[in-house]
Amino acid sequence: MGTPRLSSRRRVSSCRAEGSARWLRLSPALVALASCCALAVALASLLNDRSVCFCAFVGGRSLLPAARSQLWATTRDEDDWGLSSWESGVSVRDAPKRDRDRDQASSGGRPDRDRDRDRGGDQGQRGDRGDRGPRSFDRGPKRSFGDDGAGGDRGQRSFDRGPKRNFGDDGASRTSRKPKGDWDRGDRDRGNADADRLQKAPPAPIWTEKEKEAYFRRMIKEPVTLTTVIKRCESASELCRTLSKVMAATSLNTIHVSAAFSMLASMKKPFNETVMQHPALVDLSSQAARLAARRAFGAREAASVITSMASLRITLPWIAEEVAPSILKQVPSLVDKMTPQALSNTIWGIGVLDLDSRDADVALRAAGDTALAQLGRFSTMDLAQTAWGLGARGQRGDADALLEALGNFVADLAPTMESKAALFDLPQIAMSFAKVGFWHPRVMDAIALRLAPSMEMKQLRLWGLAALVWTWSQPVCPWFGEGQAADYKSKGRARKGRQPVKEYPDQVLPAFLSKLQREAERRRLTPQDIDLSPQGPKSVSCAGW
C-alpha cells in the first residue's frame, strides 16, 4: 500500500503556504537588514560621507550568514525524512499523517497494538521502546535477532562500533567461548596454525660473501649511504677494515672524514697494536690534512675533527701533529658560522691539545671573541667545556674578558641550575678558574652555596668531589690553609639543608673545604686521586673511579 498523494490543486496551495511560512520566519532578519541599510543611507545623506556607506555595506554582509543559517534550519527541519516536502507534495502540517500512513503500510495495514505485540510486548517491556524519531546521522546497522525476538529494538547507537555479533535461533552468541571439552579438533588445529603463522616471522635471508660484497659496493657509491656505513661500525678494528675498503674504491669528503674521526674517538680506549698501526688511519689523517690545506672543511666538520683529535691525544697523538696545523689555520674564518656547541667544542679541543703554535693562539682568540658575543645562548655543558678549554690552556692573557663574563653568567645561573647539571658542570668550571689562577669571588661563592647542602654533596661523582677538594685547596683560594679548622657542624642551624645555606653564607663558605674533606674521607678518596683530578673527568687515570 503506497503513500497517499494529494491532488494537484491542494499540492500547489500547500507549497504556497509553505513558501509564505518560510518568508515569515526570515522576516526578522530581513527587516533588520533593511533597517540598517535605510539608516546608513540616511546618515550618509546627512553627513555626506562615503565611509558610512561602506560601514553599512559591511554591516549588511555580516547579517547575510544569519539569514542563510535561518533558511537552512527551516529547510533541514522539513527534510529530515530524506525528501523535501516541496518535492513530495506533502505539507508540513500533513507530516504526522504521512508517517502514520507509512508505518501502517509497512505493517500490512495492521493496528499499532498488533505490531507492538509482535515486537515483544508493550513499550515498557524489553521489546519495542517506541519510535525515537529519525536518526541525526547513520550509525551503522543494528543488531539482528533470532525468531524468539530476544533483545528487542535497542534504538540508535551513540557512535559506530562496527558490526555487532549475530545471534542464532537459541539467542546465544556464536562467538562465545565454548567449554574446553567441546572444542572441535579441526578448529583447534586451525587456530594453532594461525597463531604460529602470526608469531613466527619469516627467516632472514642468508647472504653469501659475494652478495655482501656487492651490497657494500652499492652502499659506498653514494655519499649519504657511505656516511651510514662508517657510522655503523661497532669497533675500531671494524672501522679500520671498512676505511681500507672504502678508500681503495672512492675518495672521502669532509663529512666522511669527520664521521670517521668521531666514531674512532667515541670507541673504547686504549686500542690494540693492530689498530694503532693500521694503514687506514694513516691514509685517513693524510686525507684530512689535504682537505684542510684546501680549506674544504665547514664549521661543523672542523669543530668535530678538532674535538676528535683532542680525545685521541693520548692514544693516537700523531694524528693531531699531522692534521692540526692545517685545520687551525681555517678556524678564524669559520667561527662566525659555528653554533654554541661547535664553539665550545673548538675551544675545548684547542685548549686540551695545548699546541705551542701561533695558529693555535689565533684560533683560540677568534673562537673566544665569538663565544663572548653568544654567551647567553650557551648551555651549562657548553659553559663547562669552554671554561675547561681555557683552563687547560693555562694562560689568561686575552681570555680575561671571556672568563670574567663566563663567571658572572654562571654565578647568576647556579642557584636555579638543575641538579644533574650542577653536579656535573660546576666542578669543572670551578677547577678551570683555579687552574688559570683566577679566583672569581662571585662564581666560586655561588658554586659553594649550590653544592654545600649534604643532599647535593652526597650525589657528587668521585671526580667532581676530588676536583672541588683540589680547587679549594689551592693557594689562590681565600680560605687556603684553614683545612679542618673551620668545623661545619659547629655552626648550628647552618648544617640543616639548603635553606640555612642561603641564610648564613658567611658561615658556610669558610667551612666548605672542611665538609668536602670529610666527604672525601667517607668515600675513601686518596690524596693521589685528588692530585690526578686536574687531568679531567675522562682521563685514563680516572677510568677506575
Asked whether residue 312 falls in the same domain as residue 413, the answer is no
Same domain, 343 and 487: no
Query: Where residue 61 falls among pLDDT bands split at 50, 70, 90?
Result: low
Residue 197: inside a domain, yes or no? no
d(CA 386, CA 492): 39
Is residue 366 domain-shared with residue 475, that is, in the same domain?
Answer: no
Domain presence at residue 306: yes
* Cβ-Cβ contacts under 8 Å for 336 (sequence gap 6 or more): 370
- With contact defined as beta carbons under 8 Å apart, do 151 and 144 qualify? no
Asked, for residue 77, whether it belongs to a domain, the answer is: yes
Residues 6 or more apart from 333 whose CB is under 8 A from it? 295
Cell of 510: 669558610
3-state secondary structure of 471: helix
H or E segment to which residue 275 belongs: helix 273-276
Write out the three cell numbers for 67: 539569514
- Which residue is it, cell 517491556? 125
Q: What is the pLDDT of residues 224-258, one digit of tens each?
A: 888 888 998 999 999 999 999 888 888 899 999 99
Whole-number Å distance between alpha carbons of 131 and 107: 14
414 and 307 in a single domain? The answer is no
| Matching residue, cell 500547489 | 12
Are 432 and 508 in a shared domain?
yes
Same domain, yes or no, for 356 and 484? no
Q: Is residue 340 one of the residues assigned to a domain?
A: yes
* Longest alpha-carbon distance in the chain: 117
CA distance 382 to 10: 88
List of residues 6+ apart from 388 with CB closer than 8 A? 348, 351, 352, 428, 429, 431, 432, 536
CA distance 276 to 137: 75
The verdict on residue 174 lying in a domain is no
| Last residue in a domain, options 62, 81, 96 | 96
204 vs 209: CA distance, rounded Å: 15
Neighbours of 78 (CB within 10 A): 18
473-481: long-range pairs with CB below 8 Å, 24+: 473/513, 473/530, 474/434, 476/434, 476/437, 476/438, 476/439, 477/434, 477/439, 477/444, 477/513, 478/439, 479/509, 479/510, 479/512, 479/513
- Cell readout for 479 is 680560605
Q: How far is CA 1 from CA 93, 105, 118, 261, in A?
A: 22, 5, 20, 89
Residue 260 lies in a domain: yes
Q: Which domain holds residue 51?
A: 8-96
H helix count then E strand count, the chain? 25, 0
pLDDT of residue 454: 83
> What's the confidence (pLDDT) of residue 284?
95
Which DSSP state fits 202? P
* CA torsion angle 345 348 354 355 (round to 10): 20
Residue 270: cis peptide before it, omega within 30 degrees of 0: yes
Highest averaged pLDDT of the listed ranges 76-80, 104-108, 460-464: 460-464
Q: What is the pLDDT of residue 381?
A: 95
d(CA 74, CA 21): 10
Q: Specify if 428 maps to a domain.
A: yes
Q: Which three cell numbers stand for residue 148?
A: 524468539
> Are 473 and 482 contacting, i.e. CB atoms less than 8 angstroms apart?
no
Summarize pLDDT for 138-192 with one digit per residue, the tens.
Answer: 444 544 444 444 444 444 444 444 444 444 444 444 444 444 444 444 544 555 5
One domain, residues 227 and 370: yes
Same domain as 455, residue 411: yes
* C-alpha to C-alpha distance for 44 and 456, rounded to whole angstroms: 77
Mean pLDDT of the chain: 73
Whether residue 290 has pLDDT greater than 60: yes
User: What mean pLDDT do residues 352-368 have?
Assistant: 91
Q: Are residues 260 and 285 in the same domain?
A: yes
Q: Do 321 and 421 share a domain, yes or no?
A: no
CB 174 within 8 A of CB 166: yes
CB 419 within 8 A of CB 374: no
169 versus 458: the higher-pLDDT residue is 458
Last residue of a domain, one of 96, 113, 132: 96
Range of lowest pLDDT (9-13, 179-183, 219-223, 477-481): 179-183
- Residue 345 and residue 264 in one domain: yes
Which residues, 6+ apart, have CB-to-CB distance to 341 below 8 Å? 379, 382
- Give the domain-ending residue among 45, 66, 96: 96
With respect to residue 65, please indicate whether it lies within any of the assigned structural domains.
Answer: yes
Q: How many residues make up the chain in this entry?
A: 545
Q: Is the pLDDT of residue 2 over 60?
A: no
255 touches 299 (CB < 8 A) = no
Give the span between the Cα atoms of 245 and 279, in whole angstroms.
Answer: 12
Question: Are 373 and 400 contained in the same domain?
Answer: no
Predicted TM-score (pTM) of this structure: 0.59
Domain count, the chain: 3
| Residue 214: per-residue pLDDT | 72
